[in-house]
């Protein structure tokens, strides 16, 4: 009987629920949020518009957008208790500090215990605004600086860069950050979103689900690829070393970071939107070598594209962050900032038709055996 049971390791290819949030065609390399192409959203929309659309199902009109933006701006300040936690954990990894701070926020806000769709939306909007502040505040404190207060005149992306660097960001930098958040906002039943839904399935609150999601995103197999790409570029050093690097990696049967995706069999549709940004910024900053190494990698990896080893979104993200002098250990937290709207609506969708998520494992251990008292064991 056991031989007749099919094991889908990693739940690969298993549909556990219906969803109206995002559609991914890995064969064609297409991604849609609520029916809108990621290409159109990256070109024409803003993060706030996309966040609204993901949460409420439709793009906002002008009045809806203004109200939504004002709500986000209102929640950007974090409690003094969270600042104290950050100070005590200043030497910790940013993802650990973020996870702990989000967990603490639940204790400081009674509404976090509410288990309704309206409460999830309200608490989700708070977390959308608080998470960038937590990350930026920790980065300031660990460097011996006072955290930069949020600026209510700035957009979500501009305010993030303002809090991170303490200076008004350029229009181009803000636009690239905005696009980056849009590209990472939602991606179906990825590991962190599935983990969040599993938490909601137990009737836990939204903050608990976010703690689960953040913990899952912190793993290098999910959110850490952008940081690893930058390490790879530094190891390679120059475009001329790319071919040798790939040959050595392939000989050791080690993966080339930034290539391949669990879902996409062709190039990740999000990647091209980051590529142009990296190219432009690298030229403007007089550091074209990083983009040149990336292009050399793409060229040398072309023969392996038929095996599904195509560029993914993280391939260019890491280089873009590096060009902006953002510390590598902030790459995954930046991913988290963008993914918040996706986590919110994934949790809400789970809540609407909630059920405990409890898959099975096929036992292959010892057959029933007699217990042996400790005095008789060898």
Helix (H, G, I), strand (E, B) or coil at 329: helix
Q: Which helix (H) or strand (E) holds 200?
A: helix 191-200
My answer on whether 345 and 306 are in the same domain is: no
Please check whether residue 147 is in contact with residue 139, taking contact to mean a CB–CB distance below 8 angstroms: no
Given CA atoms 341, 346, 347, 352 in this order, what sign does their dihedral have? positive
Instruction: Say yes or no: 74 and 139 in one domain.
Output: yes
Is the pLDDT confidence value at 2 over 70? Answer: no
pLDDT in tens, 282-297: 888 788 888 999 999 9
User: Which residues contact residue 9 at a Cβ distance below 8 angstroms, ignoring those fewer than 6 apart?
Assistant: none
Residue 374 lies in a domain: no
Q: Are residues 214 and 115 in the same domain?
A: yes
Dihedral sign of CA atoms 254, 259, 263, 266 in order: negative
**Looking at the whole model, is its pTM more than 0.95?**
no
Range of the structural domain that residue 235 is part of: 225-323
Q: Is residue 96 part of a domain?
A: yes
Question: With bands split at pLDDT 50, 70 and 90, how would you rate the model's confidence at 217?
Answer: very high
Count Cβ atoms below 10 Å from residue 374 Cβ, excluding itself. 5
Average pLDDT over residues 156-165: 97
> What three-state secondary structure class fits 154?
coil
Q: Are residues 316 and 339 in the same domain?
A: no
> Is 3 a catalytic site residue?
no
| 279 is a domain residue | yes
Catalytic entry in 178, 180, 268, 314: 314
| CB contact burial 289-320 (16+ within 10 A = b; e otherwise) | ebbbbbbbbbebbeeebeeebbbbbbbbbbbb
274 and 302 together in one domain: yes
Whether 261 is a known active-site residue: answer yes
- Residue 202 falls within a domain, yes or no? yes
Task: State the pLDDT at residue 258.
Answer: 79
For residues 31 and 84, state if they share a domain.
yes
Do 141 and 198 lie in one domain? The reply is yes
The mean pLDDT value of the chain amounts to 93
Q: For position 180, which CATH number holds?
A: 1.10.580.10
Same domain membership, residue 240 and residue 126? no
Q: Domain for residue 236, yes or no?
A: yes
As a whole number of angstroms, the distance between CA 191 and CA 340 comes to 14
Q: Is residue 175 part of a domain?
A: yes
Same domain membership, residue 149 and residue 131 = yes
For position 63, what pLDDT does the model report?
Answer: 98
Residues 36 and 51 in one domain: yes
**Do both 187 and 300 map to the same domain?**
no
What are the beta bridge partners of residue 22? Answer: 33
Residue 15 lies in a domain: no
- Backbone CA torsion sign across 258, 260, 266, 269: negative
pLDDT digits (tens, 9 = 90+) for 226-285: 778 888 888 999 999 999 999 999 889 888 887 877 777 778 889 889 888 888 888 887
Query: Which tokens in the block code for residue 11?
Result: 């739940």
Which residues lie across from 36 on neighbouring strands? 33
Alpha helices in 75-155 (DSSP H): 80-88, 94-108, 117-142
Q: Which of 261, 268, 307, 324 is catalytic?
A: 261
Give the CATH number of the domain where residue 281 resides. Answer: 1.10.230.10
Q: What is the mean pLDDT of residues 18-22?
A: 97
As for how many domains the chain has, the answer is 2
For 101-136, the pLDDT digits (tens) are 999 999 999 999 999 999 999 999 999 999 999 999
Same-domain status, 284 and 163: no
User: Is 14 contained in some domain?
Assistant: no
């Amino acid at each position: 009987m056991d031989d007749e049971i099919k094991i889908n390791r990693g739940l690969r290819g298993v549909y556990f629920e219906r969803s109206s949030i995002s559609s991914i065609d890995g064969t064609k390399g297409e991604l849609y949020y609520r029916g809108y192409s990621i290409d159109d959203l990256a070109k024409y929309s803003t993060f706030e518009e996309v966040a609204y659309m993901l949460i409420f199902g439709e793009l906002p009109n002008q009045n809806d957008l203004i109200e939504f933006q004002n709500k986000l701006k209102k929640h950007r300040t974090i409690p003094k208790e969270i600042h104290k936690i950050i100070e005590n954990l200043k030497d910790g990894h940013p993802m650990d500090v973020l996870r702990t701070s989000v967990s603490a926020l639940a204790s400081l806000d009674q509404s976090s215990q509410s288990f309704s769709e309206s409460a999830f939306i309200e608490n989700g909007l708070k977390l959308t605004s608080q998470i960038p502040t937590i990350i930026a505040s920790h980065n300031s404190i660990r460097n011996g600086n006072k955290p930069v207060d949020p600026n209510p005149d700035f957009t979500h992306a501009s305010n993030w860069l303002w809090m991170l660097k303490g200076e008004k960001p350029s229009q181009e930098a803000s636009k690239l950050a905005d696009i980056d958040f849009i590209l990472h906002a939602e991606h179906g039943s990825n590991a962190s979103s599935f983990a969040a839904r599993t938490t909601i399935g137990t009737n836990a609150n939204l903050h608990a689900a976010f703690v689960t999601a953040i913990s899952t995103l912190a793993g290098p197999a999910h959110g850490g690829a952008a940081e690893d790409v930058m390490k790879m570029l530094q190891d390679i050093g120059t475009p001329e070393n790319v071919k040798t690097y790939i040959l050595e990696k392939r000989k050791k049967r080690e993966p080339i970071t930034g290539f391949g995706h669990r879902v996409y069999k062709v190039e990740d549709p999000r990647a091209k939107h980051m590529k142009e940004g990296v190219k432009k910024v690298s030229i403007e900053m007089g550091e074209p070598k990083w983009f040149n190494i990336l292009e050399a990698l793409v060229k040398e990896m072309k023969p392996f594209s038929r095996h599904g080893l195509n560029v993914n979104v993280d391939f260019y993200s890491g280089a873009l962050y590096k060009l902006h002098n953002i510390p590598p250990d902030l790459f995954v937290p930046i991913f988290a900032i963008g993914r918040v709207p996706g986590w919110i609506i994934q949790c809400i969708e789970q809540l609407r038709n909630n059920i405990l998520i409890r898959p099975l494992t096929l036992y292959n251990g010892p057959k029933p055996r007699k217990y042996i008292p400790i005095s008789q064991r060898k």
